[in-house]
Amino acid sequence: MYAAGLDGRVPALPTDPARLEAAARRVLPAHAFDYVAGGAGSGATMRANRAAFDRVGLVPRMLRGNHVRDWSTRLLGTWMPAPLLLGPVGVQSLLHDDGELATARAAAALGVPAVLSTASSHTTEEVAEASGRGPRWYQLYRPTDDDVTASLLARARAAGFTVLVVTLDTWTLGWRPRDLDRAYLPFLRGVGTAIPFSDPAFRAGLARSPEEDLGAAVRHRQRLFTGTAWGWDRLDRIRAQWEGPLVVKGIQRAEDAQLALRHGVDGVIVSNHGGRQVDRAIGALSALPGVVASVAGRVPVLFDSGIRTGADAAVALALGADAVLVGRPFAFGLALGGQAGVHHVVRCLLAELDTTLALAGYRDLAELRATEDVVAGAP
């Protein structure tokens, strides 16, 4: 168990997520902090993500003799010490020079999967190497060009990524005032060598290399990755191109979960992208029970958007999620301490998850799932 603060030494970074965010704000340039902390529009969905957690609660049981506990699980062929993953977060070099490499190393050291974003600042191959013997999941933003899609998938497969996460909710970027007021310059240009600039199929579509003409490369990437809405038939094509488990990210209603199942997915992630896409969308946790009920155990249902603590994770699991992902919390850890910062955040989440479920009277996930009375209205 993580002894942050319990071993007589003050932890190097705060264990409280709000203080962690405040500390990250002090070290990051304003554009980088805003990129992570910001959301769509007025921020209503970001607030709704948190408010949804405030409407549900655990009902602890006493004297359960559960001093031995095990939260480990196997999901889509990946063993994990607890049902926790680091969600895909693009352009992590805006937060720390080591970016995705630091995240991959920290996650691998703990056996926790970190999902690699298509918009990574380091190449798929470099991140695969940094993740050592750790699990590898790859997130696809589907470009309009079939050759580039095939190349991204072939490289992910060759680099040992086993699970494909296809993000559906960001076929064009949401209306994000904080980024718009900077014309998205930080992540379009700033450290802008993000994948797929390194991809051979992407480079083949350019008259001159990104090194010679960065502006043209950025415009080409924009054309390939944003502004083209696609339908379920496109998902079939990706399905046909990926043999391993495929999970769709961004599901917010039961009908879409049903459609996804019909199109052969192996899992769904209930998510509103951390409130970064559709402002005024409902809090993601409110969408979880309906999707869980409609999927009815046929494939795993994962959840993200708004989780800040291990106790938040516990509630989402109690509501039927098979695993949860976090975004901003580990991004702030990365900003503050690189690999050590991500490691700290993940250990805090794992430790608080264990403490919460322990004190609530559970010993493993099967027990937590078997309990229908775990969530009972407002606290």
Ligand X SMILES: O=C(O)C(=O)c1ccccc1
Catalytic one among 96, 122, 220, 273?
273
139 touches, from ligand X, ligand FMN, none (C-beta below 5 to 8 Å by class): ligand FMN
The pair of structure tokens assigned to 346 is 């993940």
328 touches, from ligand FMN, ligand X, none (C-beta below 5 to 8 Å by class): ligand FMN
Among 142, 203, 249, 276, binds ligand X (CB under 6 A): 276
Q: How many CB atoms lie within 10 A of CB 255?
A: 11
Concerning whether 273 is annotated as a catalytic residue, the answer is yes
Among 131, 271, 309, 339, binds ligand FMN (CB under 6 A): 271
Residue 263 in contact with residue 299, Cβ under 8 Å? no
278: left (phi over 0), alpha (psi -120 to 50) or beta: beta
310 touches, from ligand FMN, ligand X, none (C-beta below 5 to 8 Å by class): none
**Site mask for ligand FMN (CB under 6 A), range 83-122, x = bound:** ----xxxx--------------------------x-x---
The pair of structure tokens assigned to 286 is 């409110």
List, in sequence order, the alpha helices (H) in the chain.
Answer: 17-27, 30-37, 44-54, 99-110, 124-130, 146-158, 177-180, 185, 200-204, 214-225, 232-241, 254-262, 284-295, 310-318, 328-360, 365-370
Q: How far apart are CA 376 and CA 322, in angstroms?
A: 19
Sequence-distant (≥ 6) Cβ neighbours of residue 166 within 8 angstroms? 139, 140, 142, 235, 238, 246, 247, 248, 249
The secondary structure of residue 246, as a DSSP letter, is E
Q: What H or E segment, with its residue span, contains residue 212?
A: none
Among 17, 39, 83, 90, binds ligand X (CB under 6 A): 90
> Toward ligand FMN, which CB reaches closer, 94 or 299?
94
304 touches, from ligand FMN, ligand X, none (C-beta below 5 to 8 Å by class): ligand FMN
* Residue 328 contacts ligand X per CB under 6 A: no
Burial of 102 (0-12, 13-18, 19+ CB in 10 A): buried
* Residue 202 contacts ligand X per CB under 6 A: no
* Residue 170 contacts ligand X per CB under 6 A: yes
Nearest to 360 by CA among 375, 343, 338: 375
CB of residue 285 to ligand X, shortest distance in Å: 19
CB of residue 85 to ligand X, shortest distance in Å: 16
**Site mask for ligand FMN (CB under 6 A), range 31-60, x = bound:** ----xx------------x-----------
CB of residue 65 to ligand X, shortest distance in Å: 44
* Residue 161 contacts ligand FMN per CB under 6 A: no
> Toward ligand FMN, which CB reaches closer, 88 or 267?
88
Burial of 26 (0-12, 13-18, 19+ CB in 10 A): exposed
Q: How far is CA 252 from CA 72, 169, 235, 257, in A?
A: 27, 10, 17, 8
Burial of 229 (0-12, 13-18, 19+ CB in 10 A): exposed
Total chain residues near ligand FMN (CB under 6 A): 24
123 touches, from ligand FMN, ligand X, none (C-beta below 5 to 8 Å by class): none
* Residue 197 contacts ligand X per CB under 6 A: no
The helix/strand/coil state of 35 is helix
331 touches, from ligand X, ligand FMN, none (C-beta below 5 to 8 Å by class): ligand FMN
Which stretch in 211-219, 226-234, 256-264, 326-334 sits in contact with ligand FMN by CB under 6 A? 326-334
The pair of structure tokens assigned to 133 is 């013997």
Residue 91 in contact with residue 194, Cβ under 8 Å? yes
Among 304, 312, 322, 352, binds ligand FMN (CB under 6 A): 304
Among 119, 159, 201, 321, binds ligand X (CB under 6 A): 119
Contact positions vs ligand FMN (CB under 6 A): 35-36, 49, 87-90, 117, 119, 139, 167, 249, 271, 273-274, 276, 304-307, 326-328, 331
Contact positions vs ligand X (CB under 6 A): 90-91, 119, 170, 187, 273, 276
